Amino acid sequence: MKVLLIEDNVELASSISEFLAREGYICEVSYNIRDAQDRLISFQYDCVLLDIMLPDGNGLDILSFMRMERIQSSILILSAKNSLDDKVIGLEEGADDYLTKPFHLPELHARLRAIYRRKKLNGSNIIAFNEISLNIDTLEARVNDILLDMTRKEFDLLLYFIVNKNRVLSRQSIAAHLWGDYTDNLANFDFVYQHVKNIRKKISAANGTDYIGTVYGLGYKFNTSKQ
């Protein structure tokens, strides 16, 4: 998947592109609107990651530019301004999703995947890994074709794990993914622990491999090398 990152902060841009590169994305970076417009005209991207505040203008202008030039890439807005206006305008102007800084990199990855899945109309709504398969339309999780009795949050968490396989997922990132930004540190990490424990129990009960492991001090990891 080819991604254009439009972000003026060099440090942040390097973090994001490094992370995405590890996930196998081809990530190019533009630091301003002019450069971004040149690239958008010259190359094709599956997705555009767009910062709103750019040195030479408002990132929202890129949205209208892309519409004018009939560029079909998906757009994910990354904004530090978590003001509602921007979110509403952005989504109305054709952005696919909106992520507020500071975000967790695995969250960005999960959102990108979700956008990508939605955009590919012929794409399957089943995400599978070995014996685990998740149907994102019906929210059904199966292991070895046995339907698991999972709650919505558990399903979301398992999907988050599979999308970010072989990545360390911090408890903070999991909590933010499950309960959103405004939950006043509801992220009592016991809950994360409980959810993870339940998922592991349910997968094991269906004779699945226990891929999810604890990373000492940091969080959890969906380890594909486990057998």
Partner 1 sequence: MKLVDRFTLWFLGVTLLIIVPINSYITYVSIRHEIDKSAVERLKHVNQRVGEVLNRGEEPGEFTQGCRIKVVPVSDTKPADYYEITDRDVTHDPELKDNDRKITVTSWHTVNGQHFKITSGDYVTRSEQILAGLRISIVSKLIILILLLVLTARLASRIVLAPFYSTLKKLQHFNLKNKKKLALRPTRTKEFSELNTYVSKMTDKAVDDYISLKEFAENASHELQTPLAIIRSKLELLSESDIRGEQAVLISDMQNSVDKLTHINRSLVLLSRLENNEYEAREEVSLSKYTKDAMGSFGDLITLKGLHLEYKVADDVDVKLHASLVDILLNNLIGNAIRHNIPNGRIEVVLDKDCLRISNTGVPPTGNPEEMFQRFKKGTQCNHSIGIGLSIVKQICDINSFKIRYQFASSLHMVTIAFPAASNSSKLLQNDERYLHEKIQL
| Footprint of partner 1 (CB under 8 A) | 9, 11-12, 15-16, 18-19, 22, 53, 80-84, 100-106, 151-154, 167-168, 170, 172-173, 176, 179-188, 190-191, 194-195, 215-219
Please say which residue, 111 or 167, places its beta carbon nearer to partner 1: 167
Please say which residue, 205 or 218, places its beta carbon nearer to partner 1: 218
Please say which residue, 40 or 150, places its beta carbon nearer to partner 1: 150
Tokens of 106: 């695995």
CB of 64 to partner 1, least distance (A): 22
Q: How far is the C-alpha of 53 from the C-alpha of 58, rounded, in Å?
A: 6
CB of 145 to partner 1, least distance (A): 25
CB of 100 to partner 1, least distance (A): 8
- Coil, strand or helix at 173: helix
Tokens of 100: 């507020």
Question: Given phi > 0 = left and psi -120 to 50 = alpha, else beta, which region is 168?
Answer: beta
Single-letter amino acid, residue 85: D
* Element (DSSP H or E) covering residue 78: strand 74-79
CB of 30 to partner 1, least distance (A): 17
Please say which residue, 33 or 52, places its beta carbon nearer to partner 1: 52
CB of 6 to partner 1, least distance (A): 14
Please say which residue, 88 or 205, places its beta carbon nearer to partner 1: 88
Please give the DSSP secondary-structure letter assigned to residue 51: E
Q: H helices of 182-224, where? A: 189-205
CA distances 22 to 85, 105, 110, 154, 207, Å, are 34, 12, 14, 26, 31
